[in-house]
Structure 1
Amino acid sequence: MKTKASLLLAAVTSLVVGGLAATAAPPASAASLVEVTGFGDNPGGMRMHVYVPDSRPASPAVVVAMHGCGGSGPGFYSGSEFASLADRFGFVVVYPSAQQEAGFGKCFDTWSSAAKRRGGGSDPVSIVSMVGYVEQRYGGDPNRVFATGSSSGGMMTDHMLALYPDVFKAGAAFMGVPFDCFANAADYPPGSSRCTGGGGADRTPRQWGDAVRQVNPGYTGARPRLQLWHGTNDTLVPYSLLQESIEQWTDVFGLSQTPTSTDTPQAGWNRRRYADSSGTTQVEAYSVQGAGHSLPSTGMAASAVAFFGLDGPGTPTTTTTTTTTTTTPGTGSCRISSKVNAWNNGLTASITVTNTGAAAVNGWTLAFTLPGGQSITSGWNATYSPASGRVSARDAGYNATIPAGGSVDIGFQASHSGDTAAPSSFALNGSACSAT
């Protein structure tokens, strides 16, 4: 057993400490990772690091980003993309470092009876103290606090949302497990536990949901939305646990086990969404085809930040304007709907391309003209060139087909010198498009 545990620890350490398969370097700016001591009640004996971007609003959002077993806050800072996204969007990132030994390196405590009670002690209380510190010291917005993490950190993400639904607005758990999956410390090491290695995780949705509800039976407030990620080839924390987590949180929200929509937002990312009666996605789950215990990889942190609703301008204290395109209607088999949100010297443009023809479009290029002084700095769901003037947006491969009557959403962020008008003169594969 000692040999197996050593191999498992080595595997996780190589992923979390040595760096993931595709990682981002620390952001290039004057901001830096800073350790904080004396941040408040700390029964878990944890260490706290914080990354505060140079450019941020008066009341920035707060993202708690948690490492896997054998890792550390600084390691997750340098091995994930959250800090670079904080530079772009102006939120503060808290990087806790677990100090609990569980026979598998230092992991976040999601197994003890104290950690399963609201205010019971151990790591959850320490993490809430860190959030409170950022709210006090940096003016963090208490209505925009989020949790995310990988492996042990993903497990703690589910944990924090169950214990403190009044603190966290949403979470994104990578390779986690449902809340209350581990019976105790002896059950924790993934290689030998009933949760990750046996039948202890095979519960009904109602049983999983009850585990969350029993934490605070009198709670009637809103529950945090949750995004779940798991690799289909993960054997350390088995892929089957993704379904158990879906069952838990859909039951907590009173949702059907049948997704309201499914899609593939990127090659290999199969997404299931579970929306409520108002159309709000409360739970979404990503099955990453062929991935092992190696998440998040490139682009996944950005998807988490978008799920949190933090992927807009990083300076919301400035005036924001919304402009709808007024492109002259064309005669082609396509329709364009676009919206621009502008601030200071930047803007984002969201564009929906609808195929109004009778046949599917297989492979597309959308041409449009940017107003003078606008220059694209980044984009999503397409590749853009050149950055200004007459631009061509080409499909990203995974969204190359637009069925008859179907649509695709793309967008970009750009700088501007004063003209914040929407793009104009749209043409899909050379055919002019009408506008709404």
Structure 2
Amino acid sequence: MHARIRTSTIVGMVMTMLATLGVSLALAPPAHAQVISDIAYAPAQPAGSRGHLLDLYLPSGGITPRPLLIWHSGSAWTSDDGKTGADAIAAIFNAKGFAVAGVSVRSSSQAIFPAQVHDIKAAIRWLRAHAGDYQLDPNRFAMMGDSSGGWLTEMATLTGGVSSLEGTIGTTGVSSAVQAGLAFFSPTDFLQMNAQNLPTGGLDHNSPASPESLLIGCAIQTCPTQVALSNPINYVDSADPPLLFLHGQADFLVPHGQSVLLYDRIRTSCGNAQFISIPGADHGLAWVLDPARFGTQTTYTAQNCYGTTQVGSPNPTWDTFDGFLRGGLKMGTSCQVAWAPTVWGTGLSANVTITNTGATPIDRWVLTWTWPGNQQITSTWNATVTQSGAQVTARDAGHNAVIGASSATTFGFQATYSGTNTPPPEFKLNGIVCTRVFG
């Protein structure tokens, strides 16, 4: 028994250190407007444990309600403190307008599968039930994680609506679905891991002491029915939210072939996914995000029952991930604003045309700008517009909430001013800077 615990603990420590190193090397020091720590989304099980806690990182400024990115750090399921590392993720995504939640779930020594999935779903339900308290957008939840945290991300992303995995922990009666997922070097089909190990070796995943066996509660080859329930690949269907996943081809701990299997299943199931495969990269964020490997990666994209392959782009960067999440959450990835004012005396009227220049629809939009002068809006049409000082926020009027790819919508307003009437220097749509066109 001692050897079994030691084996799992060592593996967990290695995976945790690799993941932590990758984040610390890749990201800037944390800076958040507000951090709320150790929120209990359910009672501790067992008493005094950390597996039912989350930390919430809220940005300053930006649009509200905010999209939410949920983070869980990998540990080979040996840790009940998976919210560790969320501060580094928030240092990137708070600045992009996202709220970030670091969520912990129970370790495999505290509870076996499906407890970990029950836990993450309970956390998502709690966050959605309390969205109004923290100005979160309940319709724009995404999840991200590495290694076993990537496994948890894929389970959360692919099992929305699977009642058998909801559990009864904490808040119930609220959706546990997420609208996009981003997973790093994750296991997807436990029973095939040994066969996919590198020629130079790898973990014995079939061992009773392996992380996968400890998670399931049996040597995985002896209980295939239970193992099948824990494999993300078995929950894929065409209705799943978009999923982006990355894997290094030299991964010693979780074979690269695990992500190949998942991509093939999503593609043949007419799902929506991107798989970035990085040559020479081992297990850890420092490996798959290493700029020295930029341009060497292959990206496989599955959409509309077809698959495409692109070599050398996009590079696996946080800006790439931000663009994917915005597209998946239907916030928009690129835009153009045409500004056509008519000026008279001390007044003006303007028609503002927003064009979605991205490849995915925008569902619910907020356009913001700052007046360079003392312009004051007096009336509007086709949008709800508010102004505080020089700051202006225009929200869709409901009937024009959706802007399809390569489509546009127009709203207008009247305003007064004195002195100069210089146009706004910048427009942001759902937090992204738009190209300006002046009429």
| TM-score bucket of the superposed structures, by smaller chain | 0.5 to 0.7
> Equivalences for 1:52-91 in 2 at 5 Å?
52-69=58-75, 72-73=81-82, 75-78=84-87, 80=88, 82-91=89-98
**CA distance, structure 2, for counterparts of residue 133 and residue 185 of structure 1:** 41
**CA distance, structure 2, for counterparts of residue 42 and residue 4 of structure 1:** 26
Residue by residue over 1:261-304, the C-alpha shift from the partner in whole angstroms, topping out at 9 and shown as x without a partner, is 99999423311101116x8x9xx999999xxxxxxxx9533322
Query: Which residue does 1:159 correspond to in 2?
Result: 155
**How far has the Cα of 1:150 moved from its partner?**
0.7
Contact 1:161 1:168 in 2 (8 A): yes
Query: Which residue does 1:407 correspond to in 2?
Result: none
**CA distance, structure 2, for counterparts of residue 125 and residue 97 of structure 1:** 11
Contact 1:89 1:312 in 2 (8 A): no
Query: Which residue does 1:273 correspond to in 2?
Result: 301
Contact 2:66 2:137 in 1 (8 A): yes
Answering whether residue 300 of structure 2 is matched by residue 253 of structure 1, we say: no
Residue by residue over 1:350-386, the C-alpha shift from the partner in whole angstroms, topping out at 9 and shown as x without a partner, is xxxxxxxxxxxxxxxxxxxxx99969xxxxxxxxxxx
Contact 1:39 1:130 in 2 (8 A): yes
**CA distance, structure 2, for counterparts of residue 285 and residue 175 of structure 1:** 19
Answering whether residue 127 of structure 2 is matched by residue 112 of structure 1, we say: no
SS at match of 2:145: strand
**CA distance, structure 2, for counterparts of residue 422 and residue 312 of structure 1:** 26
Query: Which residue does 2:250 correspond to in 1?
Result: 233
CA RMSD of aligned residues (A): 5.6
Equivalent residue letter for 1:11: V
**CA distance, structure 2, for counterparts of residue 208 and residue 287 of structure 1:** 29
**CA distance, structure 2, for counterparts of residue 95 and residue 54 of structure 1:** 18
Contact 2:140 2:178 in 1 (8 A): yes
**CA distance, structure 2, for counterparts of residue 134 and residue 86 of structure 1:** 20
Query: Which residue does 1:211 correspond to in 2?
Result: 234
**CA distance, structure 2, for counterparts of residue 250 and residue 64 of structure 1:** 25
Query: Which residue does 2:105 correspond to in 1?
Result: 98
Query: Which residue does 1:34 correspond to in 2?
Result: 36
Query: Which residue does 1:47 correspond to in 2?
Result: 53
**How far has the Cα of 1:49 moved from its partner?**
0.3
SS at match of 1:322: strand
5+ residue gaps in structure 2? 162-174, 194-204, 280-292, 340-354, 359-365, 371-390, 392-421, 427-431
**How far has the Cα of 1:87 moved from its partner?**
2.7
SS at match of 1:156: helix
Answering whether residue 36 of structure 2 is matched by residue 16 of structure 1, we say: no
Query: Which residue does 1:307 correspond to in 2?
Result: 324
**How far has the Cα of 1:54 moved from its partner?**
1.0
**How far has the Cα of 1:95 moved from its partner?**
0.3
Change (3 A) 1:299 1:229: closer
Query: Which residue does 2:179 correspond to in 1?
Result: 169
**How far has the Cα of 1:151 moved from its partner?**
0.8
Change (3 A) 1:300 1:150: farther
Contact 2:74 2:148 in 1 (8 A): yes
Answering whether residue 137 of structure 2 is matched by residue 131 of structure 1, we say: no
**CA distance, structure 1, for counterparts of residue 123 and residue 310 of structure 2:** 26
Change (3 A) 1:128 1:208: closer
Change (3 A) 1:312 1:178: closer
**CA distance, structure 2, for counterparts of residue 230 and residue 253 of structure 1:** 21
**CA distance, structure 2, for counterparts of residue 68 and residue 184 of structure 1:** 20
SS at match of 1:33: strand
**How far has the Cα of 1:86 moved from its partner?**
2.6
Residue by residue over 1:309-331, the C-alpha shift from the partner in whole angstroms, topping out at 9 and shown as x without a partner, is 16999999xxx96239xxxxxxx
Change (3 A) 1:186 1:141: farther
**CA distance, structure 1, for counterparts of residue 246 and residue 331 of structure 2:** 26
Change (3 A) 1:143 1:273: same
Query: Which residue does 2:143 correspond to in 1?
Result: 147
Change (3 A) 1:10 1:302: same
SS at match of 1:344: strand
5+ residue gaps in structure 1? 214-219, 290-297, 325-336, 347-370, 376-412, 424-436
**CA distance, structure 2, for counterparts of residue 94 and residue 135 of structure 1:** 12
SS at match of 1:12: helix
**CA distance, structure 2, for counterparts of residue 189 and residue 263 of structure 1:** 24
**CA distance, structure 2, for counterparts of residue 99 and residue 26 of structure 1:** 28
Contact 1:52 1:93 in 2 (8 A): yes
Contact 1:60 1:141 in 2 (8 A): yes
SS at match of 1:50: strand
Aligned residue pairs total 309
TM-score (norm 2): 0.53
Change (3 A) 1:288 1:38: farther
Query: Which residue does 1:366 correspond to in 2?
Result: none
**CA distance, structure 2, for counterparts of residue 131 and residue 193 of structure 1:** 26
The structure carrying a bigger helix percent of its residues is 2
Query: Which residue does 1:391 correspond to in 2?
Result: none
**CA distance, structure 2, for counterparts of residue 268 and residue 192 of structure 1:** 36
Query: Percentage identity across aligned positions?
Result: 16
